[in-house]
Structure 1
Amino acid sequence: MTFYKCKFNGQGCNFLLHEWCTRLPPELKGHEYHQEHTLLLLPKAGHEFLWFYCSVCDDLCNGFAYSCVECDWKIDVWCAFTREKIKHKSHPNHLLSSHYGYNRSGEDGYCRMCLSGFIDNNEISFSCGQCGFHLHLGCALLLPETIRHRYDKHPLSLAYSPVENHEGDYFCEVCEEELNPNACFYHCHECVQSIHTTCAPLIPQSKPYLYGGLRVLWKRVKMGGIYKTEYHPHPLSFLIGTTSDGQCTKCGERFYNNYILKCSECKFVIHARCLT
């Protein structure tokens, strides 16, 4: 993937940009999710720690964002340029439309690819209103149709339903746990082997967080930054917390795949949300 890197004075810094990101327009007018005001592109849209919550997906982000010039409304660049309509192999007869603030209640209010529900109505989905068919944003856009995996010498194809003439139960070749063939999975037709989409990670993801679908943790958050704050005398590193990090200094909860700020000089560690 083509990218640009800072080379100031022949040494540069850690500033990198994808070629696509260099072409982002400086402002957006009449955006479908915030039509009343103009949105300006900002390299830093958050508070002192530089992160913010996207007003569309409600995820934590710390990359570029479009921010309203008149109110405290921000959207990350991923959500800003999500396509309005897509054609998807899981629902080939109709186009799927992106929806934000959409009512997906009822027995059909779940993602047909991972078979799990939505956190709330503010979560973006691709939906067919005619059929009551819904997909998580991540499930719809982030799973490639064909992959290669070290557990199989052939390409594996993304399957959206049980494989024809398959005998017996389905088991994942990687984790050896049972696989639900009504959810999408990767399958080798030559070796008759199947793999969970979560066991073939081509993108960062966290299994315990997958109950709500393919939610790609950290896809819009750059980790490893060092921050100085008035709340603690030493510099703090922005990391993903694990159980080995113990408990939050402020709220007392244990860490498990949370964003944290951690001191390398003492035992101070705190949830990022506890400082916002």
Structure 2
Amino acid sequence: MTFYKCKFNGQECKFVLHDRCTRLPAELHNCINHPQHTLLLLTKAGHEFSRFRCKACYKLCNGFAYSCVKCSYIIQVRCAFIPKKIKHKSHPNHQLSSFAEASTIKDCCRMCLSRFTADNNISFGCDGCEFHLHARCASLLPETIRHRYDKHPLSLVYAPVENHEGDYFCEVCEEELNPNACFYHCHICAQSIHTTCAPLIPQSNPYICGTSNVRYRNIKYGGIHKTEYHMHPLSFLPGTKRDGDCTKCGKTLNDRHILKCLQCKFAIHYMCHN
């Protein structure tokens, strides 16, 4: 894919943009997430590593965002361009329309079987069939995954796929699996996996970048941060077990956002640098 990369004074930095991202509109009008006001494009939501919780998908994000100054409303770029209608394999006979007030829906998401509780969250639904999906369920789950103990890909399915009366069990957590929710299944080996357990699986083609935790999939890493309390620049990274404990608070850095020195062993939690 065509992209642009910064080479300031002949030196490379880690600022990279897709070609299509250079053409993002500076303003959005009548956005389905927040139609009452114009949203402005922010190249940085706060300071360099500022994280924000997207008001559409409620995931932690950073980087470019669209924001309403009047309402302190902020959403990630991906959610700003949610289409008004989609086609989805879970409901192949009709198109699903986007709906911005998901908290008013009384039934459950047909993919994860959980309710619509967050105000201003986005859903997709077929009103005639009373069929609704969370936007995150409809758009973020990959169609296929791979398990290191299964040579076949596992496909995302939306209904029971085995002709037996027994229970289904997840191959990762070994807990019972509700066959009425969507899940991943190998049709050859008859193995099934929760969608929530899928991010924990080592992928041959990873769809989670930087960290194994799905809640951080929208975080961009790699920036450089200069501080007064350390002589070297610090990189914004996902913590691992090998990083040990925070230099400041002494708690583990594993599976946390950290600032790490690549020249020495100094590393602290992102929240501890303030």
Under a length normalisation based on structure 2, what TM-score does the superposition of the two structures give?
0.73
2:102 is matched with: 102
Q: Do the aligned partners of residues 236 and 258 (structure 1) sit closer, same or farther apart at CA in structure 2, a change above 3 Å counting?
A: same
CA RMSD between the two structures? 3.8
Aligned to 1:3: 3
Give the % identical residues.
63
- Residue 6 of structure 1 aligns to a residue whose secondary structure is strand
Whole-angstrom distance in 2 between the partners of 1:3 and 1:203: 19
SS of the residue corresponding to residue 16 of structure 1 reads strand
CA gap 1:35/1:237 in 2 versus in 1, 3 angstroms: same
In the alignment, is the contact (CA less than 8 A) between 1:37 and 1:69 conserved in 2?
Answer: no
8 Å CA contact retained: 1:171, 1:195: yes
* Post-superposition CA distance 1:44-84 (Å, at most 9, x none): 13246433343434443221112346664332201101112
**1:200-259 deviation digits (Å, cap 9, x = unpaired):** 435339xxx9xxxxxx41232223544456xx734766455689757996xx99988555
In the superposition, relative to structure 1, how do residues 39 and 11 fare at CA in structure 2: closer, same or farther (>3 Å)?
same
The answer on whether the counterparts of 1:3 and 1:16 sit within 8 Å (CA) in structure 2 is: yes
Residue 207 of structure 2 aligns with an amino acid whose one-letter code is I
1:233 aligned to 2:237?
A: no
| 2:85 is aligned with 1:81 | no
Gap regions ≥5 residues in structure 2: 200-205
Whether 1:90 aligns to 2:90 is yes
What residue is the counterpart of 2:50 in the other structure? Answer: 50
How many aligned positions are there?
260
Question: Aligned runs of 1:28-67 on 2, under 5 Å?
Answer: 28-47=28-47, 49-67=49-67
TM value normalised by structure 1: 0.72
Contact 1:126 1:135 survives alignment (8 Å): yes
Give secondary structure in 1 for the equivalent of 2:12.
coil
> Could you tell me whether the CA contact under 8 Å between 1:223 and 1:239 is conserved in 2?
yes
Runs of 5+ in structure 1 lacking a partner? 210-215
Q: Contact 1:241–1:260 (CA<8 Å) still a contact in 2?
A: yes
Amino acid at match of 1:21: C
CA–CA distance in structure 1, aligned partners of residues 237 and 127 of structure 2: 40
| Code of the aligned partner of 1:25 | P
How far does residue 187 in structure 1 lie from its aligned partner after superposition?
1.9
Residue of structure 1 aligned with 2:193, choices 171, 184, 195: 195
**Structural mapping, 1:195-274, within 5 Å:** 195-201=193-199, 202-204=206-208, 216-228=214-226, 233-234=229-230, 238-240=236-238, 245=245, 259=257, 269=269, 271=271
